[in-house]
Chains A and B, each alone.
Chain A
Amino acid sequence: MALPMDWVWGLVGGLMIGAAAGIYLLVNGRIMGASGIIGGLADGTAGPTGREKLAFLLGLVAVPPLLVPLYSSVSTHVTGNPVVLIVAGLLVGMGTRLANGCTSGHGVCGISRFAPRGIVSTLIYLAAGAVTMAVARHVLGVI
């Protein structure tokens, strides 16, 4: 049975993400966590790691748009509701800094190291996400 193409591209993209995390760890000796990289730059706690964080951020922001012409259409399908965007952004920003990690740091890098904190954090944010989705979409109908 052929896998749906979305799943195949998910796997290919996932392997690219894993390879990126591997390079950042093996060459730079750093854990690839998106919230730590942007957060450290935003609040000035990056210290001597600021330059490589900035280089990482430059690659992350500037290079993916170069792939867009390869697709017939690419959309983030992001909501147009400014209240949802602001509340969600604040929660993601505060939450990832409090928890000291997000999908990349706790998820990809933590799970693969079998780190208890990473595994627990991932289970909690997945559960919180599923509950929030159920309530916000199916009970309140706001997203």
Chain B
Amino acid sequence: MLMRNLSALFAGALFGCGLLVSGMIDTAKVQGWLDIFGAWDPTLAFVLGGAVLPMIFVWRVAERRGVSILGTPIPERMPTRFDPALITGSVMFGAGWALAGFCPGPALASFAIGGWGGALFLLAMVAGMVAAPALSARLSNA
């Protein structure tokens, strides 16, 4: 249990530092990436590329092993279903991401330096997360 928590702590710290180093915590940069009709900033393509490349290799190793180093089964693939929740949720997320320039990771990594604006975004984000299951139930009944 200790190793598991230490590893998670380290992964969270490395993730957050990567978000800071890459410029992802700068909402102006993220908005610049989405602003394809304005002063487009391609930095995010390098961030995503840099993150995906090592993970392609890691997934191959992980799926061959079947279990993690601490013995947890590697998560199985989700059945390929493009359900209304996936589509609607992705549209909502993209819209919110553009409006504030924050997605969940960078909003948390910049909490200590983000001032009241970052804190207000986080508060609304968590409220939205807690409210999501009710909305999800409506979507699946529709």
Binding site for B on A (CB under 8 A): 6-32, 34-35, 38-39, 42-43, 51-53, 55-65, 67-68, 74-80, 82, 84-100, 102-104, 106-109, 111-113, 115-117, 120-122, 124-134, 136-138, 143
Q: With A20-B14, A55-B5, A64-B25 as known contacts, state yes or no: A89 contacts B135, CB within 8 Å.
A: no
Q: Show 12 residue pairs from A and B whose CB-CB distance is below 8 angstroms, ordered by the A residue.
A: A14-B47, A18-B51, A24-B8, A28-B70, A32-B11, A77-B26, A88-B99, A94-B135, A95-B94, A100-B89, A104-B104, A138-B38
How many A-B pairs with Cβ below 8 Å?
Answer: 474
The residue of chain A having its C-beta at the shortest distance from the C-beta of B85 within the complex is A98
When distances are taken between beta carbons in the complex, the residues of chain A under 8 Å from B44 are 10
CA distance in complex: A49, B130 (Å): 18
CA distance in complex: A127, B70 (Å): 38
* Cβ contact within 8 Å between A67 and B129: no
* Cβ contact within 8 Å between B85 and A42: no
Q: How large is the interface on B (under 10, 10 to 19, 20 to 34, 35 or more residues)?
A: 35 or more
* Cβ contact within 8 Å between B58 and A22: yes
B124 at the interface (CB under 8 A from A): yes
Report whether over half of chain A's contact residues are helix, strand or loop; otherwise say mixed.
Answer: helix
When distances are taken between beta carbons in the complex, the residues of chain A under 8 Å from B131 are 90, 93-94
The smallest beta-carbon distance between B134 and chain A, in angstroms, is 10
The residue of chain A having its C-beta at the shortest distance from the C-beta of B20 within the complex is A64
